Structure 1
């Protein structure tokens, strides 16, 4: 039997725009590679570019004193880095670091401001996305405080799986420990438990998702809450020209 043609990965925020607005924004964008570990923005520094990931994904991290960076959110092809520009704020509160290598669309901040002024549909979509992003940050904070490491690891692997567009990715124990704000021993125990249940396979820093449904069952409710927020708010609304100014 012939193989099914894979569905191309697109940035969902851009794809949801009306055709005219989408073409105009894409005309201002350039395709760039996202290289693992690259820092795309720093807290309280002017934004030079905004990024719409396609196949790569970006981690939003905070650093307090000499502690290791703690991840607060993930941005993949469902979102963008630099949405604070919609609020008229030309900086971000968190560091943006490439966590998954891939591709993205990049647009200069001045050009994006012009698009915002001329596209009520773009502004409406990004207003909704900002709410979803705020909800993700709040949910992550609560998850870090209240939930066990194994459930948090399952949630984090699901979020990464959604954005990696692959069933296998490279993640070391140290990296996972830093992102979740726990000791490496905690990650070793949690990953071992998930592997024993045959939900994942972990070998020399390579993690494979074996049972997606089972992993969802092992996750805390935080993953489902964030997914429901996106599904509820990011369905492209019917847009009437002149309805948003």
Structure 2
């Protein structure tokens, strides 16, 4: 259920926080604050986009559908981004499955209201065009990563990305879900996670992962994590 939007302002989504105050307040007037539930599917591929989401302390997995499996993760959206950015291209159909991976708050706005506000705010349009470029670049980076990099390095990258989105050192995730998201066998995830745990980089117990050594995790991660961060810093900041 929607809750008071006044609570949102101190924790604002980074895209919206970058707007001039007038544009920011005007946008908030058309939004509602909602609680996103774990494993809630916000979009299915090919489905009409009814709402646009700006995560606050939640994060959303973007996965492309594959035959006989849940899907291969192509990106994560946290409070640095938005869900529904394809509307910027005049396309109101979701290209990917959007699954809530980290429950929490988000700002939600209907598609008609979003498009109306977008027409009225050149600052919002400029910010979201930049974000669209970043998201496309990161999805392309993920595709290359899935093809060429080893499971342990990809897992380390994924854990770093999730820590960034969750703003926490601890989060809940199963080996089976990780295997689906990374497109590998469950035994490969178990082996990679055990390797990281044996080096005291992470602690993994009953689906709860705690990052103990972020620097060690960055050292294990492939270069794709740094590339993702660099493209965001170069374009958005």
Question: Counterpart in 2 of 1:27?
Answer: 29
Deviation at 1:230, TM superposition (A): 0.4
Deviating beyond 4 angstroms after TM superposition, the runs of 4 or more aligned structure 1 residues are none
Deviation at 1:68, TM superposition (A): 3.1
Q: 2 CA distance for matches of 1:140 and 1:71?
A: 8
Mapped pair 1:58 → 2:60: yes
1:63 aligns to what SS in structure 2? strand
Deviation at 1:65, TM superposition (A): 1.9
Q: TM-score, normalised by structure 1?
A: 0.91
Mapped pair 1:211 → 2:190: no
Pick the aligned partner of 1:124 from 123, 126, 131: 126
Mapped pair 1:75 → 2:66: no
1:90 aligns to what SS in structure 2? coil
Q: Within 5 A, what are the aligned runs for 1:1-245?
A: 9-235=11-237
Q: 1 CA distance for matches of 2:65 and 2:43?
A: 13
Preserved contact between residue 69 and residue 180 of structure 2 (Cα < 8 Å): no
Q: 1 CA distance for matches of 2:11 and 2:187?
A: 36
Q: 2 CA distance for matches of 1:78 and 1:67?
A: 28
Matched residues, number: 228
Deviation at 1:66, TM superposition (A): 1.6
Q: TM-score, normalised by structure 2?
A: 0.94
User: Which consecutive unaligned segments of at least 5 residues does structure 2 have?
Assistant: 1-9
Deviation at 1:86, TM superposition (A): 1.1
What is the alpha-carbon root mean square deviation over aligned residues? 0.8
Deviation at 1:74, TM superposition (A): 0.2
1:70 aligns to what SS in structure 2? strand
User: Which consecutive unaligned segments of at least 5 residues does structure 1 have?
Assistant: 1-7, 236-245
